[in-house]
Amino acid sequence: MSISEVIKHMKKYVAPSVLGCDLSNLHSESIDVIQGGCDWLHLDVMDGHFVPNLSFGPPVIKCLRKHLPSAYFDCHLMVTNPEIWVEPMSQAGASRFTFHIETQSSQESLESLLQSIQSHNMHTGIAIKPSSEIPLFIDPVVEKGLVDLILVMTVEPGFGGQKFMESTMEKVRSLREKHQKLNIEVDGGVNSETVLIADQAGANAFVLGTFVFNSPDRKKTLSDLRKSLNIED
């Protein structure tokens, strides 16, 4: 199947990143985008070491989960030691645990981390920075069904509000050519224009922080995005 055929048939997901919201009102801001029509809530966990910023972690996610029992929590961990956060994130109610490939040095460690995430009843995701090459040892773990999603960073991780790096689309295209059923997510600088560039390249999950939360009418913004991506509700 050509990339355009694959794109036509894949389910697509819109995931607002709460890093772009008023975090002092995390609960009501989350409800606003859930009611406005999003698929996943993207939660960025940062440890101040893997990236030069701190955000929030399992205690905050656990509180949010109590208020939103059925929301899909798409958690993106920008942390140096993802292994130690599997249990706490699962206890907190994460739906997906996405960690960075740069933290893994071998296929063995990668496989064991993915298996640990799955055994804690979370979906798995592997994120990759703009400047990193996709290591060849990812392919066999994808073939084994251990990976639900690959997150291609379209900005340097750590902060919202940066400019989309179109050069990263090369990675999206080559992943899509190899893995037609895999979820491919883009994250950083995604707006009404760049979302279409990523869609064309073969991505099917779109994280938007600033663009959604700063828009004057979030419901309309989400609905327009869904229309432009041909998502049928």
Ligand X SMILES: O=C(CO)[C@@H](O)[C@H](O)COP(=O)(O)O
Which of ligand X, Fe ion, none does residue 188 bind to, with CB < 5 to 8 Å depending on kind? ligand X
Q: Choose between 9 and 196: whose C-beta lies nearer to ligand X.
A: 196
Candidate list 32, 39, 74, 187, residue with the active-site label: 187
* Binding-site string for ligand X from residue 76 to residue 115, where x marks contact by CB under 6 A and - marks none: x---------------------------------------
Strand order in the sheet with 41-46: 13-16, 205-208, 183-187, 149-153, 123-128, 96-100, 73-78, 41-46
36 is known to lie in a ligand binding site: no
Candidate list 32, 39, 44, 199, residue with the active-site label: 44
Instruction: Pick the closest to residue 94 from 71, 121, 73 (CA basis).
Output: 73
37 is known to lie in a ligand binding site: no
Element (H, E) at 46: strand 41-46
209 is known to lie in a ligand binding site: yes
Binders of Fe ion among residues 13 to 52 (CB under 5 A) are 44
Rule CB under 6 A: say whether 52 interacts with ligand X. Answer: no
Q: Choose between 115 and 162: whose C-beta lies nearer to ligand X.
A: 162
Residue from 12, 42, 100, 176 touching ligand X (CB under 6 A): that is 42
Query: CB under 8 Å to 43, separation ≥6 — which residues?
Result: 17, 18, 56, 61, 64, 73, 74, 75, 76, 94
Residues 32, 152, 63, 85, Cα dihedral to 10° = 180
Residue ranges binding Fe ion (CB under 5 A):
44, 76, 187
